[in-house]
Structure formats: C-alpha cells, structure tokens
A and B are shown apart, each in its own frame.
Chain A
C-alpha cells in the first residue's frame, strides 16, 4: 500500500512505571496510515510495554494515545479492538484445546451482532450472519495464510511455527485497521521466517487488506527489509527513528543496541 501522510496512530510523551522501574520515559511517535512501522531495541527496552499501552492492556501514567484523531488513552481494550486495533502476542495466547477454526472465529466474535438467544434459535439473520463471517474467515484468512490443511486440528498439537500463524490469523479475524505484531518471527526457522515476512507484506500491501502494521522484532534482516520506518528504543527512551538506513547508521543506535557496526545488518540470505 502506498504510505500516506495521514497519521493513524499517535503516541505522545508516554510514561509508564512499574514500582520503581521506569519502563517508558516520555516516548512519542507517529504511525502513518499504510506503513510498516518497526520498533527495535534490546531486551527490556520497553517495546512490549509500548504495545500494551497502545492496545489498552496497560494504562500509561502520563501521556496520550490517539487513534485516527480520537484520544483512546482511557479506553478499555475491547473498545480499542472494536475501533480496529488488533494484536498478536509474543508468547502465544491461543486456546490450545480448541481447533484452529474456533480460535480464528473467536477473533471475529467482536463483530457478531446477534446474541445468545437468537444464536440458540439460529434462524434468518443469525444464520446469514454466521455464513458471512465464515466466508470472511475462509476467503480472507485461511486462504491467505495457507492453513487449509490444519483447519480442524487442535491448536496445541501443532508445531510452534504454525501456532504463530494461527496467532496472526486470529488477530486478522478482527479485520483490523492497524495490527500490532509482537515478535512474530521469534522462534521460527528460516523457511517459516520467510513465510511470515511474506504474510506481513501481504497484509500490508494486498488490495483487500492494506493494513498498517506496527512490528516489534529482533530479526534485523527482516525489519530492515520490510519496514518503511523504524524506531529504536533503549531503556524506555526513544533514541532514533527514521527510514531503515537512517536508523542503521545512527551512531547512538549502533552503540546502544547493536554493538559493532558490521553486525548491524544481518541478512538472512
């Protein structure tokens, strides 16, 4: 998708402390509609905390979060989900005892309009609604992520690489306007990383999706390859942001996070 100038998500001077630990100290940034925006930084830099502040799991002590021009700092997570903010988790948050399809359907639940009783009777509008949602899941998600062969499998029985894909599938079921991806490549093998990177690009670029992605990731090769802009955090503070080459060549980033300059761009090929 062509990256627009329009700011979709604005994070302004966020502070977040846990007891005596300052996890975020005045972080501000803007994500433009249609871009892949990556957040990098060493372990403990506050990347996941930042995502949690955006989708509402944490409420920052100071600062503002704006989504599409509306302030959402005080909104509950489900309200933000309804607005189109979706996320995946680094440590998978799936129902291991349920099937792949059921897990994905769960991500769709927020869009269900019919209630318990009409669901029990299952007639007319309710049935139509279910068929519509089914169609969406099959056409847009299962086909995109190539998981036809495991539709009816128990999630807990699947290899880790596929579980990561289901995590993404569930987040997509929300039909998000922006998707927060927390280390989607961690623990995957080379082939799975390539697949996942392709899916992220698909979600961002395919006409059907055109979804803004906020990516937290350690795999520098992929981050630098696919991101439009990158922000680097260190000890809860923003130390740089800009295009991948700008961040790569930022001396502070090199010093704080990446060690020696030649290690910075680690390609996977």
Chain B
C-alpha cells in the first residue's frame, strides 16, 4: 500500500535519536542544501545545513554551561522562527526535553506549565515573552535562565535571569573551541527510548496534561506516515502553525529531519498567507480552521467580484464538484467531464489555488478537529488533494490517514502502517503503535486511564465502517442524545454551518433537550462588509451581531442547512452571541476547540432562554483581553426562532 519511489526509508532502531539523525543529515547536506529559510527584511534568507548545525551546536553547548543536564526541561514560547527550531534541537541534542507553550498563552497558563514541567530553562522570542517570564519567575523557583533572541525593545532589561541567545552562542562557541567533538559525543550518548518532548495537551475539560514522547515515538510516527505519503528532500514546507501543536512538530521535526525537506518560516504571523503563496509548499498540515478561512476568503472575494467573474467561478465549481463527487464515489470519470474539468482548471481552479498558496501542493492534510464535508468537497473540487488525519498528541500526532485514491469525506481514513486501531464495545476508539507515548508527566492516575495493556484510549467515540475506514463521531462526552433518543454529533451541525462565510463559530446545543438550538458567532469582517454594502450602520461586534438584518441573514443560512437534516436534528432556535468565542476567555482550547462544559456553564442564561418562551436573554459577564484586562459587559440578546 505504500508508495514506491526514490524515498529511502530510515531504519529506526531503539538507539536512534532525533539529534543523531540531525547530525547525519547535516553532514550529508552540509553547505550544499538549504535546511531552512526565513523571510526577513522582505527577503527570503536561506540557512544551510551547515549553518543550522553550527547554530544548534553553539546553543546546545551554551545551554550545558547554563546548567542544563540530561532529562532537564526546556520551555519554549514564541512565533515560528529558525531560532525556535535551533533551540529545540539544541535542547534535544544535550538530552534535554522540549516543552512548547502556545505563543498567546495567558500568564496563568504559562506559570502552570513552567512550574508543572519543572522547566530549568526558558527560551522566548522577545520582549513579550521576557515580560511573561519576569512575571512568573518568583513563582517558578526551578527556572534558572531565560534565553531571548529578538533585541527589539530589550534595551531596558537587566534582570540577571535573562540572557540573549547570542551570548549563549558565544559561550557555546568558546566551549567548542576548547573541546571540539564534545557536542557530537553528547549527541551519541542519547538513546531512542529517552523522552524528547513533553507535550501539554490543550484539554477541553481539565488542566493541561503533559504527554511524554520519546525519540522512538516521534521517529516511528514520521516513518509510518511517510510510508503512506513519502516526502522528498526537494520538498518545501512552511512552518507557521504553533510549535505547541503536535501537528507542527510532526512535520517540522519528525518528518523534516527524516525527509530532509526545507522548512520555511514566514516573516510575521500576519504575512503567513502571503509567504505561503511565495513558497508554494508541497506538503501542508493544518487544523480545519485554516482551511475554513481559505474557503471564507474565496467566498468573500466571490461576493465582491464582477458579474462575469462570478459566473465563471460558479461554472468551474459546478464542474469541479461533479468530478470530485464521481471520484469520491469511485466511479470512472467520463472523458468529456475530464475535458471540462481541464478547462475549469485552466480558467479558474489554477488561479484560485495559486492565490491560496496551493499551486504546488502534493499532500495536504487536516486534523485536530472535525472538518465539515462541504469544506472537504470544496478543496477536492479545486483539485487539491486534501486528506484527513486522525490522531492524538499521545500517539505522537497521527494514527489514521486517508489514502490518495481512497478518500471519503465523512471518515478519517485507515490506520498508517505499524498501527492498530479498533473500537471498544462501547464505541471508544483505541489504538496501539510504536508511537504511543509513555505516560503523562507526574500524573500516574491519568496515565493508567489512558494506557491500558498498551492500548491508547482516546476518549473519542467512533466506529470502523465496511471499507475499514475509521469514522470519528465526536468526543465521547460531547455526543448528544436528541429528543427522540438518537445519538447525534454536535460537531456535524457546527461544521456544516461554518461553511457559511457569515458564520465563524457555532455551538450546537441539544443534549437531552426537546429540540436542537445553537449559539452563533458571526464573522465580523464578512458580515461587516455585507452590512456596509447595504448601508447598515454599526460600530462594534456586539451591536452588529444584534441587528435584525443580521439575524435574518443567519436565519437564512440555518434554514438552508436544516433542509438536509432529519427533523429531530434541525436547529429550531438560535442566538447571535455578542462576541466571538476566544481562547483567552477559556471558551476554546488553544487549538480552537470548543470547551462545551465551560460554555454551557458560562452561558447558562442563554441556554435557559433558548428552551423557554422568552424573546430575549439578558447577559451580564466579563470579557478578558489578551493583555489580561477584564471588561464587564451588559447586554440583551435576541432569541430567534427558525421556521421549520
């Protein structure tokens, strides 16, 4: 089932570590090949494997001189940039354990993780991260030093806990000159079963749990994935999603180091989309929200386009959808449809793909959350080979994947090689592979719950269909029991509704309730443009969301979606929320998954309102801004009924 190509598989023994592979790759490519690129000052600046190696060596030896010992934890926070990857690789080289934090983590989350992980060193990007470190350093006594790399705004800082990465590298360089070969000796001491990453899962319910992953876990996962979809050293990959997300580690580290492809870093997070277009990556892995945003961008441009462009787009998409549907159902595509598809592709799809940065894409994946079938069909209609990935942090990221010619958009595919996946009698998905983690850090009870006889218990409900594809229903605790007793996944409703460009987030409610309702977060920019085009004046999100015209707009979208649903699952009432769901308010996890139990508690007034005769709900809550400020909000929300 695996592809046969020029792809040469790495043999993974219990002795092999990520740094050892790094060393091999660096020696092999040296200054002949670009290991990574960063766009800086408006130009793509290449970094060869030689430079990569030298930098990692200096940082690693510098870290040792700062007191880093084997199995010590190094916490890292910041945007995707070469220094981040160097620091992570350096920590691994000297036997340290990398701990990644989300860049937008609030101070309490940072403190919790730094403290719980017993981090000895912290690596941050610049002033913002340094401020976070200085705020928590008294509460985290195990933290010894904080390394930073961006000098902007750092002129006034002289706290002794701080040290610039340049200085660390200088120290490292001196050590290397005194003891050449030391670095490689340290690398060679590493063992495959040693822990290399401590990965805090976002946790939709409780405190974050730290999953311990070994070199062996990470490397076997990468190998097994590439047995299905090989990557080549000539490939380009753009690293712009948080390193604290396992998917990014999986691509940049596990696969990157085995395949030797070039990792590209965008200039700033704001320029990522543009930079992706400039690079035109071959491989991409992103959570559904990235693809949802792409679809929304296209839809918005479509709404703004001229009449002739809109007609061309509609026609081309019609052809694309038809061909994609034939392929999904594994029916042959007749020659005339192929011809039409070619024309559609030349006229429209190719240009669209270029604008989305997908012009050279060979394999693109989505995972980490559910993606709606409409979004999925959209990309296949364009001719983008989008596939589902399913997995957990606890299995190093991935266990199940679509195959190129066997894609069903309601499934997540079949297990990758070396991996067994089955369901327990009560429907829980469990899996077993060499990539299954060794446990949670300092949480033996949680470990015992997740790991039983070598099987990883995911907490997701699903089943395996007749073709051997895994269907993931939802988190077990999230599955709804509808009015007539049928089980229903709220995610299905939510992802369907999110295909509307006007709707950014949805929360479907209906567990053990007489009917289904939902709370809608409109997309501020799209709905805002829509309103401006119709001369509807508004000043803010709360005001816009409560306008009668906007309610009508959302109602139309819901009626449209309701058409395809069984009567019991149709949405009967909805409320437009006065704000977007936000991870800073703890409504979403950092990977943007809805924390149902939390929102249910927080918005219980709205829920009560949706299941009573009332026309409006009074809200009285707080909003947390990114800098920690809390604002009090009082407002009335309208409850609208959807005609059935």
Binding site for B on A (CB under 8 A): 134-135, 138-139, 142-144, 146, 148-149, 151, 198, 202, 205-207
Contacts and interface: CB of A to CB of B under 8 A. Distances in A.
Contacts of B156: 205
A143 B41 contact: yes
B600 to A, nearest CB: 32
A148 B267 contact: yes
Given A198-B153, A202-B153, A135 B41 contact: yes
A33 B390 CA distance: 62
Nearest to A139: B41
B375 to A, nearest CB: 26
Contacts of A205: 155-156
> Which 10 A-B residue pairs are closest in the complex by CB-CB distance?
A138-B41, A149-B270, A138-B42, A149-B271, A148-B268, A148-B267, A139-B41, A148-B271, A205-B155, A149-B268
Interface residues of B, number: 12
Nearest to A135: B41
A159 B42 CA distance: 22
Interface of B: 41-43, 152-153, 155-156, 267-268, 270-271, 274
A261 B271 CA distance: 47
23 contacts: A134-B42, A135-B41, A138-B42, A138-B43, A139-B41, A142-B41, A142-B42, A143-B41, A143-B152, A144-B152, A146-B268, A148-B42, A148-B268, A148-B271, A149-B270, A149-B271, A151-B42, A202-B152, A202-B153, A205-B155, A205-B156, A206-B155, A207-B155
Given A138-B41, A139-B41, A205-B156, 11 more contacts: A138-B43, A142-B42, A143-B41, A144-B152, A148-B267, A148-B268, A149-B270, A149-B271, A151-B42, A202-B152, A205-B155
A25 B43 CA distance: 52
A148 B152 CA distance: 15
A254 B51 CA distance: 61
Nearest to B39: A148
Nearest to A207: B155
A205 B155 CA distance: 8
A143 B38 CA distance: 14
Nearest to B150: A143
Contacts of B270: 148-149
Q: Mostly helix, strand, loop or mixed at chain B's interface? A: loop
A206 B42 CA distance: 22
Contacts of A149: 268, 270-271, 274
A146 B153 CA distance: 13
A192 to B, nearest CB: 14
Nearest to B274: A149
Nearest to A151: B42
A97 B27 CA distance: 51
B223 to A, nearest CB: 37
A105 to B, nearest CB: 13
Contacts of B271: 148-149
A224 to B, nearest CB: 19
Contacts of B268: 146, 148-149
Nearest to A152: B274
A144 B41 CA distance: 11
Contacts of B152: 143-144, 202
A210 to B, nearest CB: 11
A151 B156 CA distance: 29
Contacts of B267: 148
Contacts of B153: 198, 202
B100 to A, nearest CB: 24
B331 to A, nearest CB: 45
Contacts of A151: 42
A135 B179 CA distance: 38
A138 B44 CA distance: 13
A149 B273 CA distance: 10
A148 B41 CA distance: 8
A143 B268 CA distance: 10
Contacts of B43: 138
A138 B156 CA distance: 24
B51 to A, nearest CB: 20
A179 B41 CA distance: 24
Nearest to A150: B270
Nearest to B272: A149
Nearest to A201: B153
A147 to B, nearest CB: 10
A134 B41 CA distance: 9
A132 B122 CA distance: 37
Contacts of B155: 205-207
Contacts of A202: 152-153
A139 B12 CA distance: 44
A48 B332 CA distance: 75
A202 B156 CA distance: 11
Contacts of A135: 41
B541 to A, nearest CB: 14
A19 B41 CA distance: 50
A202 B43 CA distance: 24
Contacts of A206: 155
A142 B156 CA distance: 22
Nearest to B155: A205
B529 to A, nearest CB: 14
A163 B272 CA distance: 22
A148, A202, A206: most-surrounded residue (chain B CB, <10 A): A148
B178 to A, nearest CB: 32
Nearest to B267: A148
A144 B153 CA distance: 10
A75 to B, nearest CB: 34
B270 to A, nearest CB: 4
Contacts of A139: 41
A143 B153 CA distance: 12
A144 B274 CA distance: 20
Contacts of A198: 153
A137 B633 CA distance: 43
A114 to B, nearest CB: 22
B268 to A, nearest CB: 5
Nearest to B629: A269
Most buried by B among A139, A143, A151: A143
Nearest to B268: A148
A138 B45 CA distance: 14
Contacts of A142: 41-42
A130 to B, nearest CB: 14
A234 to B, nearest CB: 35
A144 B152 CA distance: 8
Contacts of B41: 135, 138-139, 142-143
Nearest to A138: B41
- Between B41, B267, B274, the greatest number of chain A beta carbons within 10 A of the residue's beta carbon is seen for B41
B103 to A, nearest CB: 16
A206 B267 CA distance: 22
Contacts of A148: 42, 267-268, 270-271
A99 to B, nearest CB: 13
A148 B42 CA distance: 8
B381 to A, nearest CB: 30
